[in-house]
Chains A and B, each alone.
Chain A
Amino acid sequence: MSILLVDGDKWFAESLAATLEKSLNESVQIADSAEAAIKKIDAELPRVVLADFRLGTKNAMTLLNELQSFTDTRQLPVILLTVDGQRLNLADFENHGVKYIFDKQTAQPAEIAEAVKNVR
């Protein structure tokens, strides 16, 4: 697994995964909740996690805290997607491994792909 995309909106996830796969020529796995994402990460560590801030019955903090609690996932780079871009401040999430925050209302798939490609 190269990229893990975590989003509860199935159609949005499938569509963004398709555009990223075409742009980056990398495989994208989809998880629809924090719990499903953790299972997939346990099975195979991705290069980067791309997660919607609103996840299932929880928000992405559940996933971020879980990733920070294990040594092998602590360094995993995370990119957050949100429809509340103006309300989320990257500085508040940097300690949780978040490298970028993209607003779903304005972000271009090419920008997201570029961030996914370059993130370390």
Chain B
Amino acid sequence: MNSEGVNLSLVACSHELKTPLCLIRQLTFELDQEKTLEKQQEIIRRIRLTTERSLRLADNLTKIARLEGAMFELEPIQINGLCQEVVDELLPLSRALAQTFDIKISSQSTVVVGHRELLRSLLLGLVDNSLNYTGSKKIRITARQNHGETVLAVRDFGPIMDLSQFRKLSAKLGKTNAPISARPMASSLGLVIADKFASAMQGRLSVSRHHAGGVTFRAHLPLSSQLNLLELA
């Protein structure tokens, strides 16, 4: 990564971390004022969930710093199990935001070759991004085979993304040194991270927007045909 890339990413990281930190700060002001125990407990729960989200971001930043020049041992990974792990981790946050998950994995796309921790972080980044910034009531996670790759998709049903924003985002995906500003309300560090993790596994990210509202982020990952044949046998 060149120095410009590092600086730009640091700006994005700093900006993304400010949002949950400002929220935690505001929640503490509210907690100071609140007298009822039930409401106090709800505020504390929100502080905890927001802190955990910030910690996930910080943890992923450490992983990104270690990506440079690193060699990864790739392994077959069961997509179903991985999706379930991610959903389980984000379930408390999704419940607090009144959002549900819908997972659909095609029978031909049960195994992908990748680095387990990176793939998990990639999926966490995509789902977390959808959960926090869309106002969507549902997040759909799907996996299917397409032209020799496994496509892992995370769709939200939030507002329609502006065309200008969509074009800006599409142009930046896959350029690992460029920060991704997906939506003005988010500096989208989760997407920056997901993009870098996909690249590290010889994959890529893409995005499409929907007339009915919401966007789909897709991670295109190398498919192991042999492993899938074994799986189906």
Question: Which residues of chain B are near A56, meaning CB under 8 Å?
Answer: 159, 183-185
Q: How far is the CA of A109 from the CA of B133 in the complex (A)?
A: 24
A15 on interface, CB distance cutoff 8 Å = yes
Q: Is the CB of B161 within 8 A of A57?
A: yes
A39 on interface, CB distance cutoff 8 Å = no
Identify which of A16-24, A43-51, A91-99 touches chain B: A16-24
Chain B positions 1-55 with a Cβ under 8 Å from a chain A Cβ: 15, 18-19, 21-23, 25-27, 29-30, 33-34, 43, 46, 50
Q: Is the CB of B43 within 8 A of A15?
A: yes
Give the B interface residue count (CB, 8 A): 27
Q: Is the CB of B26 within 8 A of A15?
A: yes
Question: Which residues of chain B are near A15, meaning CB under 8 Å?
Answer: 23, 26-27, 29-30, 43, 46
Q: How far is the CA of A19 from the CA of B43 in the complex (A)?
A: 12
Q: Is the CB of A57 within 8 A of B30?
A: no
CB contacts between A and B, total, < 8 Å: 69
Contact with B along A37-73 (1 / 0, CB 8 A): 0000000000000000011111100000000000000
Give the A interface residue count (CB, 8 A): 24
Question: Which residues of chain A are near B19, meaning CB under 8 Å?
Answer: 9, 83
Q: How far is the CA of A59 from the CA of B165 in the complex (A)?
A: 12
Using CB atoms and an 8 Å cutoff, list the residues of chain A in contact with chain B. 8-12, 15-16, 18-19, 22, 32-33, 54-59, 83-84, 104-105, 108-109
**Seed contacts A12-B22, A18-B34, A109-B29; 20 additional CB < 8 Å A-B pairs:** A8-B135, A10-B97, A11-B46, A12-B26, A15-B27, A15-B29, A15-B43, A15-B46, A19-B29, A22-B33, A32-B135, A54-B185, A55-B184, A56-B183, A57-B183, A57-B185, A58-B184, A83-B15, A83-B19, A105-B25
